[in-house]
Every structure is written in C-alpha cells, then in structure tokens.
Amino acid sequence: MGIFKRDVMHQGVWCIKDMKTDAYKALQKQSQAKVSYYSQEVYGHYMVYLSVVIIFLFIVKRFIFYKLDRLARDVDGSRSSNAFVRLCYKVSAFNRFFSYRRMPFFLCEFFGLPSSLGNLAIICAGLLYSLCYTLIPHFWYRECRGFGSPPLAVRAGTVSTALVPFIYILSGKSNMISGLTGISYEKLNVYHRWVSIISFIAAWVHTAPFYIQSSREGGLERLAYMQKHNVLFKTGIPPIVFMTILCILSHSYFRVVWYELFIHLHWISAVGFYIGLIYHCFQMLNNEKYMYAAVVFWITQLVYRAVVKSCFKPNKGFLKANPCKIARFMSSTQDNQCYQILIENTNEFHWGPGQHLFLRFPGLRVLDNHPFSILSLYEPSADGKIKLVIKPMNGLTRKIYNSVPETGFMDGKVFVEGPYGGCERDYNSFDSLFLVATGTGIAATLPFLLKASQDIVSGNTKLQHVRLDWIIRNNDSVEWIAPELTKLIQSVPKKFFDEKAIKINIYSCHADGTTELDDKFATIYKCADHDSSSTSESEEKAEKVEMNEEKAPVEVFNGKPAMKQVGGSIEDELSLRNIIIVSGSESLKQEIANKVASMQRLVLSSQKSVEEIYLHTETFGW
C-alpha cells in the first residue's frame, strides 16, 4: 500500500480507530516510558552549551593576545625568553597555517560558504554537533502518531529553537558577543547566517516527521484533517515560511543584486518569524525561555545602538543631521567613477583607523542605511572632517552619484551612525605594519598609514616599519587620496623615507603615465620643509641639487602586479612581529590570505627571526 496507508496496526491495536481503547492507552504509556516527551528538553540545552563554550574560547583568545601585545610593547626587538609566550605564538601559527587559507571564491558565492577554512571548520563542527544530537538518538518515530510527537521532530524543534537567541544576538551591529570577544559584527555576520541555516535545517527536520507519520497512518485524508484541526500544525506554518524566506534571501546573489529589497524583507520577515514562533512553541518544553532571551537581547542591542551609536546619542548632536558636501572625482574612464563625501564633524563623532560608519540621507531613502569606510583620521579640532570615498554601485550610491554635478560640490545632510569595525589587535605592539589594498579599499587602509606614520615620527610606538601597496585601475584614482598623501609627505621628516621606515608603492594597472605621478610626488617631496635647522646659502644649493636626484617617497609602477609578487616582497621584509591589513577585492584577500598562511612556517620553523605574522582583512560582504 506504500507510504500512504489508511491505518497502521501495532501489537493488535489500530493507530487511528482504536485510539480510545484501554489497550491503546496502555501502549501509549509504554512508548512514553521509552522516550518521554519532557525528557527531550535537554537537547536545547546542549546547543546552548556548545555556543557558550565557543564564545568562551574566543574570549580566552582575546585575553591571551591582549596580554601578549602588552608584553611585546614592554620588551625590545628580541624574541621572548618566556616559554609560555613562545608556545602561544607557535600554537597560533599552527592554527593560522590552516585557518587563514581561503576557499575558492566561486564555491563561497554559490554555496554561501565562509571564505576562510577557520570559519568553515567552526561552522562544520557546529552543524555536525547539531545533526548528531538530532539524528543519532533513537527512536525517530513512535509506533502510532497518537502515542505522542515523533521524538525526532521534538529533538529537532528544541535544537532549532535554542539557536534563536544566538541568531538575534549575532544580527546586531552592536552586540554582546562582539563586546566580549572583540570581533566586529561584520566578521560575525558569517556566523549569523550559518547559525540561522543550522536552525533552519533543524526546523525542517522538526516539521517533516509530523507530515510523514500522519500520511503513513491515514493517507492524505488524515493529513488534511490534522492540518485543519490540529493547532500546532496550523501555527507551525508561518514561522517555517518566514524562516525559509530569510535563509533564501540571505544568499549572496540576492544581497548583491537586490540589496535594498533584501534589507527590508529581512527585518520584516525577522519580526514575523519571531511572532509566529513564540505563538507556535509557547509553553512547550519551556521553549518560551529561548524566545524571551532572544527579544531581550534584540531590544537591548537596538536601544544601545540608538543611544550610543546613532543620532539618539544624548549630546549636542541629538536628532541632528551633519552637514556634508558631495563631489565627483574627475575620471577619464567609465569604470573608475567615484565620489567623495566630506561630513562636518559637528556631533562629537570619534573613530579610529580602519573603522566604518553608516549613513542615512534624509529626504533620500531615509530608511536605507549604508556602510562606508572612513578615509580620514580623527582630529579633535572642531573643523576635522569625515572623508568618505565611494564607488557607485546599484541603488542608493548610484542615485547619489547621478544627482551630483560634474564639477563643484553638492550640499546635503546625513545622519551618522557608528563607528564600527576596526582591527582587533593594536598595531603599535608589532614591529612592522603591511597594508595592501585595491581600488576604494584604500579607504580602510590609508588611515593606518597616516596614524602609524605620525606615531613613528613621534616615537610613540614600537612600530619600526610601515608599508603600503595600493593597486589601482589608472592614475586618476590617486586623486581620491592626493590631499592625504601630500600632507603625509610634507609632514614626515626625510630620514624616515630614506631609511624605508615608511614605504608607499602604487601600481597603476591600465595607464602609461606613471612618470607624471613620480614627478608629482617628487615635487611635493622636494618642496616639503623636512629639515628645520638653518643652513647656509651654499648648503641650501647643494641640498637642492641632491634632492633633485632623489627618488620620490611614493614609488609608482606601471602594470598590475601578481599577488604572489606582493606577498613575496612582504615576506622578504618581515620583522620579528608583523601585522598585515588587507582591504579590496576578494581575489586580493584570497591570494594574500593564502600567502600569509604559508608564511606561518617561518614562525613554526624558527629558521628566521619571526615570532608572529597576524592578518586582518576588511570584510564588506554582508
């Protein structure tokens, strides 16, 4: 008769027509004695235990590196003599040798996988853990549906619900996990997506047994009856539908192509999912405690974000927009279009190198909230401006670009939210800082160059060497950061460039005019007042002749470099402790990450005086 039988007999009792008999009730008690409904609450606890352990390990990791960084700033440039410290660096290098490696980009895009093997390993471990606790315990189905809910369905439902608080915590830009671990929300976003997917898988495993067993025992007629008269069948549909929408639309294709649609449907579906789920599971195995936890964390994070990070901050910027000026950069090519936003810092907004903010434009899609890296350094003076360099894509950024005149500025107002992100580690505890960027990725790396250069000149850092490698499409892109580079060249004493303490390389991929850029930076360099001591007229003439023969501090190369070439040159310049910060295309991050992973052999082998090689990549794929 196949799967859709009209009725099923168990030990001489029919599962449907004998439901009110004493024999049926006796068998029902036996089934519950084997695996009781209430005993399965513990499977939700197991998921909470796993999540807490993972968070705790990241907290321990943060604490250890905080101590190592403080120790590194207090010692000279020699290897640590502490055996425990050396062990920590070795263990870190071994972990980074595998975890820094990147998956092929097309696999990550198609399957929504995390790019690094380290994140993939943690997610796979969590998925395997949840599947083992869901599928390995037996039995899956009860002999008759009337004996109680299928144990497989109950286990899976509890597992799925227990993960909901972590989904909502990880969704917040300001969240407790970021505060405890130091990992910025955009890097936690991959865990937000995959905890959601694991919960989604468990939710469908929870749903299927009810339909399968009802169909087995009474066919489609029984299934239709249950769907009409069983409250749990009816209330279970909305949350599973909303969760399916959330997971499907979270695929990278929808986030990239229809970003605005994704954002608005995402929060609407999240609210609908929460309401539907709490109505479905209320007072069932105490599952409501997970829903209470989810809403408490969610609301707390929203309030904190509004009061601390946005225009609701209780200071002079309360509910006030910042004035701004928007202007296009001149470009000779269609694919190099870009514009800048200069925001008057009137609302006591502080930020650090590598951080980003979110902007809302009143009168222009005020509900849209877009992230942008901050190119400029924070200056305490009131006239310090927030500079953003933006490449127009689809949606809001393209609409703004089209509304800006080809010449001159367009005045506007923006609501500023942030700052967010930044590097987890303090670059001042390292000996060398390497910055690699492509295109507008320079917005995330240039502030590190500017601040590190100031610190090197003032002597307020352990850092001895900072280097920037920037790959651009053509020479026009230099206009984006020309004022900052000019200020840097003019303010840094000559000896720091001569001794290669500060090194800047620019690679122009599709241009022949690198000589003009060399001359431009050489002129800036020669005009800079590097030496404050007085000299005689003859000495000044001799110095000018010498400087005319000197090479500009910014080296410009014609042609796109191979990423292996950039990575290899970094390896040749490694110091004792090194930090590498990368921002730009996915191919750049993949190549550099794989190269840095292979560099860990230098730490493990002890053949070269290298104690640590740390990699930080800017992530803007949410």
**Taking a C-beta distance cutoff of 8 angstroms, is the pair 85, 93 a contact?**
no
Q: Is the pLDDT of residue 56 over 60?
A: yes
Q: How confident is the model at residue 529 (pLDDT cuts 50, 70, 90)?
A: low
- What are the tens digits of pLDDT across the range 272-314? 999 999 999 988 889 999 999 999 999 999 999 999 999 888 8
Kindly state the average pLDDT of the residues 351-380: 87
From edge to edge, which strands make up the β-sheet containing 370-373?
Answer: 370-373, 355-360, 410-421, 322-328, 339-344, 385-390
Q: Which of 56, 229, 54 is nearest to 130 (CA)?
A: 54
The domain boundary, picked from 421, 446, 477, lies at: 421
Does residue 66 lie within any of the structural domains? yes
Cα Rg, the chain, nearest whole Å? 30
Query: Is 576 found in the same domain as 470?
Result: yes
CATH number at residue 90: 3.40.50.80
Backbone angles phi, psi at 555, to 5 degrees: -90, 125
Q: Is the pLDDT of residue 550 over 60?
A: no
**Taking a C-beta distance cutoff of 8 angstroms, is the pair 192, 179 a contact?**
no
**Taking a C-beta distance cutoff of 8 angstroms, is the pair 436, 561 a contact?**
no
Tell me what pLDDT residue 334 has: 63
Query: Is 482 found in the same domain as 381?
Result: no
Does residue 21 lie within any of the structural domains? no
Query: Is 240 found in the same domain as 111?
Result: yes
d(CA 518, CA 514): 6
Does residue 570 lie within any of the structural domains? yes
Q: Is the pLDDT of residue 507 over 80?
A: yes
What's the pTM? Answer: 0.90
Query: Is 177 found in the same domain as 94?
Result: no
Q: Is the pLDDT of residue 378 over 70?
A: yes
Tell me what pLDDT residue 622 has: 41
Tell me what pLDDT residue 509 has: 84
Query: Is 412 found in the same domain as 294?
Result: no
- What are the tens digits of pLDDT across the range 312-343? 888 777 888 999 999 998 775 666 789 999 99
**Taking a C-beta distance cutoff of 8 angstroms, is the pair 453, 310 a contact?**
no
Tell me what pLDDT residue 544 has: 37
The domain boundary, picked from 368, 403, 421, lies at: 421
- Tell me the two tokens of residue 307: 């009061």
Query: Is 140 found in the same domain as 287?
Result: yes
Q: How confident is the model at residue 540 (pLDDT cuts 50, 70, 90)?
A: very low
Contacts by residues 255-258 (CB-CB < 8 Å, ≥ 24 positions apart): 255/622, 257/394
Q: How confident is the model at residue 257 (pLDDT cuts 50, 70, 90)?
A: confident
Query: Is 449 found in the same domain as 345?
Result: no
- What are the tens digits of pLDDT across the range 589-608? 999 999 999 999 999 986 67
Query: Is 443 found in the same domain as 372?
Result: no
* List of residues 6+ apart from 246 with CB closer than 8 A: 196, 200, 266, 269, 270, 273
Q: Is the pLDDT of residue 382 over 70?
A: no
d(CA 188, CA 99): 16
Does residue 5 lie within any of the structural domains? no
Q: Is the pLDDT of residue 534 over 50?
A: no
Q: Is the pLDDT of residue 546 over 70?
A: no
Bond from prior residue into 323 cis (ω within 30 degrees of 0): no
Query: Is 193 found in the same domain as 61?
Result: no
Query: Is 178 found in the same domain as 250?
Result: yes
Query: Is 370 found in the same domain as 449?
Result: no
Q: What is the full DSSP assignment across 87-155?
A: HHHHHHHHHHHHHT-B--HHHHHHHT--SBHHHHHHHHHHHHHHHHHHHSSS-SS-SSGGG-S-HHHHH
Q: 582 or 226, which is more confident?
A: 582
> Count of domains in the chain?
3
The H or E element that residue 614 is part of is strand 612-617
Torsion of CA 440, 442, 444, 450, to 10 degrees: -150
Tell me what pLDDT residue 191 has: 95
Does residue 28 lie within any of the structural domains? no
Q: How confident is the model at residue 620 (pLDDT cuts 50, 70, 90)?
A: low
Q: Which residues pair with 390 in a beta bridge?
A: 339
Q: Which residues pair with 327 in a beta bridge?
A: 340
The boundaries of the domain holding residue 349 are 322-421
Does residue 548 lie within any of the structural domains? yes
Does residue 620 lie within any of the structural domains? yes
Does residue 161 lie within any of the structural domains? yes
Tell me what pLDDT residue 88 has: 94
- What are the tens digits of pLDDT across the range 194-204? 999 999 999 99
Q: How confident is the model at residue 532 (pLDDT cuts 50, 70, 90)?
A: very low
- What are the tens digits of pLDDT across the range 217-232? 877 777 787 777 788 8
Least confident of 14-18, 397-401, 435-439: 14-18
The domain boundary, picked from 421, 436, 460, lies at: 421
Q: Is the pLDDT of residue 500 over 50?
A: yes
Query: Is 370 found in the same domain as 465?
Result: no
- What are the tens digits of pLDDT across the range 8-43? 777 878 888 888 888 989 998 999 989 898 999 999
3-state secondary structure at position 160: helix
d(CA 81, CA 62): 22
